[in-house]
Structure 1
């Protein structure tokens, strides 16, 4: 079968795996405030089951939190499984497994008859996100040259932002459909990138490092020649997870783990999933909520671009520090504005949604919206890519196989 060696084309296909996370975020963010969703999954006096009554308060706030978090729970499980899967079948095949799992989860979400079925579908989607989010950066880094590695791996975050924006507008358009198709259609459409990912990967090479680790040096050399015609000394192909527990690696392990943890704790996921709630509490109503939310997703796409261009020049530590300070500033500003100029919403929350528990009218509301945009603009080029360091790409050198010296490249 024909295979491409163009690293940019390889990256463009592979990062669709990252885009799946973006599709999940938007498919929930844009839908949770629509009447069709609130009525069908209603836990109020007229639910569950679809109806078009005036009392469609949707799931209880704790239930909605569980629906949203179910994807993250599945992602946790998928990330644990991803290492085992990729060691057995390879980087490329592991991502394809993730694509198939995403299709299954999307089918279940699309066909959901109740909240339990929706949660199961989102857990399965999360498993896919966990596998793809873990393995796509590894796959790209093991194929890309060191001089371009940060930029290429960072495109996964850009793919996430594109996935969010595209799916949000699809969901926004579907919100005008009457009945359950308003949410079933976008949840079905989100299978499309997984299909493209699975088929596209058929034409991409396997990681040369994985091939070398499994004794397939000739294939690894062929792929190196195909991609960038450079080989280097194979010194780390037999590294296992036990290496992470060695004293020399503990600091790196700590940095890697907690960078990922703090990236999730910055509040970005809240601003992505629940931005419609935040803007409703900022006194926006009707379609203005979704339209204003979509601007945030456009900002997310655009402000990620500087990191792709200059990430390898900036380094890693300073952008993370600057981003953390800026995000903290905007979040404190939102909290202060709400506390000073806002007040509690009526009992039951705005629009009958308990989670919309506060309201800030007038000019203060505009300041909240502006701070929300600035928060996203601060996250996207800093903590979004969050690439502190990437694995050494080590594969056998043709010169070493011939008995000559070889060079170790990082």
Structure 2
């Protein structure tokens, strides 16, 4: 049974009455974004070894690296604006518009006629994925049921690797993508999010910050106690959110960019958070994700692939 819920934004929501059903939906909705990034890396790994792709763009080592790394250019600029976007328009709309940008990037990549168009498409794809991915992570941590929040947030990044495993399975899929760079994984993920977001409530923390107190209380009840507004857990979680945001506003702890850089504690936290990305990459997983198949493919196998009719 679905219940119409106010969201404080232009996006309506019809939320399941069951907390368990809603938690599963929220988890899937947020994890899809993390999984999409793993899917893209595995897709390029397979396509990079196919002559139908390398010969079409007349790629050398430099241009092949540029094609592959261009998604990280958008992925670099996306986090710089995703927080501001999510705070101003809401978590769900931020995920929605990020998915729209991702779809545009996928379609441009499909229609790419030359290296420049392909690189631009990959930059747009990386930008959209970063915006929706970061907003999705924040949305999950703020909205997921307090009983399972740590477990759910842990699974969020874990699905980066699960999607890569699924993508590496069928070799025939890589061959089919040799002439059509429209990857169904990159396409279906944003489409699924557009459906799932309409069955999910807005973040209660964002609602309280915008002054929608009753709407936030309803969301807390939906995500913790099957919609029971008088449940002790609902009252405790709601009071904690209200008290925290009230304190932040009273003490002017809005964490704007300059405040983060001025405060030594926040600078330390920023450096700790930033360290995860570089340290995860220097392990060699990025190189393996994108170029392992090319370096390990036998010449006679490439010859057979050249003669395939796709």
What residue is the counterpart of 2:15 in the other structure? 3
Residue matched to 2:291:
274
Deviations 1:120-172 (A, max 9, x none): 110001001211232222111112345533321122223222332333446x3
Distance 1:220 1:285, change over 3 A: farther
For structure 1, the 5+ residue unaligned runs are 43-58, 291-350, 352-410
Determine the structure 1 residue equivalent to 2:301: 286
Q: Which among 35, 46, 49 is matched to residue 30 of structure 1?
A: 46
Q: Check 1:35–1:175 CA distance in 2 against 1; reply closer, same or farther (3 A cut).
A: farther
Structure 2 alignment gaps of length 5 or more: 5-13, 226-233
Instruction: State the secondary structure of the residue aligned to 1:40.
Output: coil
Q: 1:232 to 1:263 in 2, by over 3 A?
A: farther
Quick one: distance in 2 between partners of 1:285 and 1:94?
48
Question: Which residue is 1:81 aligned to?
Answer: 81
How many Å separate the matches in 2 of 1:279 and 1:80?
37
Residue 135 of structure 1 is matched in structure 2 by 135
Partner Cα distance (1:185, 1:69) in 2: 16
Aligned ranges 1:45-194 → 2 under 5 Å: 59-169=59-169, 172-177=171-176, 182-184=178-180, 186-187=182-183, 190-194=186-190
Q: Kindly state the Cα deviation for residue 183 of structure 1 after the two structures are TM-superposed.
A: 3.8
Equivalent-residue separation in structure 1 for 2:157 and 2:128 (angstroms)? 16
Alpha-carbon separation, structure 2, partners of 1:23 and 1:250? 33
Classify the secondary structure of the residue corresponding to 1:274. Answer: helix
Tell me which structure has the larger Cα radius of gyration. 1
Distance 1:111 1:190 in 2: 15
Q: What CA distance in whole angstroms lies between the structure 2 residues aligned with 1:185 and 1:79?
A: 26
**Aligned partners of 1:258, 1:235: CA distance in 2, in Å?**
31
How far apart are 1:184 and its partner, in Å?
1.3
Count of aligned pairs:
267
Equivalent position of 2:239 in the other structure:
232
Which protein has the bigger helix share? 2
SS of residue paired to 2:271: helix
Q: CA RMSD in A?
A: 2.4
Q: Which has the higher contact order (CA 8 A, sep 6+)?
A: 2
CA distance in 1: counterparts of 2:162 and 2:182, whole angstroms: 16
Per-residue deviation, 1:176: 4.2
- Secondary structure, counterpart of 1:41 in structure 2: coil
Structure 2 CA distance for partners of 1:176 and 1:133, relative to 1, 3 Å: closer
- Say whether the 8 Å CA contact 1:110–1:184 is kept in structure 2: yes
User: Aligned equivalents of 1:244 and 1:94: distance in 2?
Assistant: 23
Q: TM-score, normalised by structure 2?
A: 0.78
- After TM superposition, the structure 1 = structure 2 runs for residues 228-377 of structure 1, keeping only pairs within 5 Å, are 228-229=224-225, 230=234, 231-233=238-240, 234-237=242-245, 238=249, 239-242=254-257, 243-245=259-261, 246-280=263-297, 286=301
